[in-house]
Amino acid sequence: MRRKTLNERDLRALRIFRAAAQAKGFAAAEKQLNMTKATISRQIKAVEDSLGCILCVRGPQGFELTQDGQTALRYAQEALDALDRIVPAVDAARGMISGAVVLGMSDNVIGNPAGSIQRALDELGTMAPEVALTLQTMPSNSLINALLERELDLVIKGIHHVHPRIASLRYLELFEETHKLYYVKSKDADGVARKPASLPIVFRAAQPFVEDAIAHGYRRGPEAIGMESVAMLIASTHYVGILPTHYANMLKPILPLQEVPKSPFYSVPIYAITNTSRPLSIAAEKALELLLRSHGKRYK
């Protein structure tokens, strides 16, 4: 039986396969790869012929990896990551930091006086101008999935104590974010001032602070995805909502936000999170080190 081997052309095809698998389909990978679906399909078919197996099923029902495809993807990721580390490693031996870093973070953290993310990015840009940095703001529940799927090198997000931690991830605390209940003063149709305690609360899925407020008597209101959506609903004057205190303070010059009297006080730690199953590149490790240092933490 002919021994199966992979050549340079197969490595290129495996990169295309990895991109299609991460995008969960050929159509979604077209723009990323700057290739047509026909070209992507042809490249993946070529590497399937080299391996002697089917890597993915594609058709009207959608895109799905086969068991062989899942195995191939896992090892392709490791091999391609190793190849991508060669040039940065040679550069590092000459005292230069290079390579790509893809950082994901929650929205609206920039105004937190306890946070120094921008200072860390400033230092990274100054000491390592050859690093290709990509910064993505994503919904909180998408960040961890993207990290596990190796689409991100590093994530910055809040982790509530009630949420279970994933064993394969490393959590390094940076700073804390405080939250309170806010509303905008208004009157009902009879001209009577609305009491904030009588207003329904803007609901956010998987947000334990909202669940706590509901448990203490607030009615559930409309659902919002993203901090700005919460603020917009509060601005409508018909709802109360939970916002980070720093974000509310940023909005006050343009929105007459009021803190609900005797508002409960919530706190959530913000972490830098990495995937321990994927070794950090030299550039990503430096970015993490600077993030920790800018928040008075030591990198171990």
CA distance 229 to 38: 40
Domain ranges in the chain are 8-80, 97-300
pTM over 0.75: yes
Percent of the chain surpassing pLDDT 70: 98
For residue 199, which of 213, 178, 179 has the smallest C-alpha distance? 213
CA distance 100 to 130: 9
CB 72, CB 51: distance < 8 Å: yes
CA distance 204 to 230: 8
Q: Span 87-96, mean pLDDT?
A: 78
Backbone angles phi, psi at 243, to 5 degrees: -130, 150
Residue 1 has pLDDT above 80, yes or no: no
CA distance 138 to 154: 13
CB 76, CB 88: distance < 8 Å: no
CA distance 251 to 282: 38
CA distance 283 to 155: 15
Following CA atoms 173, 225, 266, 269 in sequence, which dihedral angle do they give, to the nearest 10 degrees?
0
- Give the CATH number of domain 8-80: 1.10.10.10
Q: Span 35-48, mean pLDDT?
A: 88
Residue 240 has pLDDT above 50, yes or no: yes
Render pLDDT for 99-129 as a digit per residue (tens, 0 to 9).
899 999 998 888 899 999 999 999 999 999 9
CA distance 112 to 100: 27
CA distance 148 to 138: 14
Domain 97-300: CATH class, spelled out: alpha beta
Q: Coil, helix or strand for 52?
A: coil
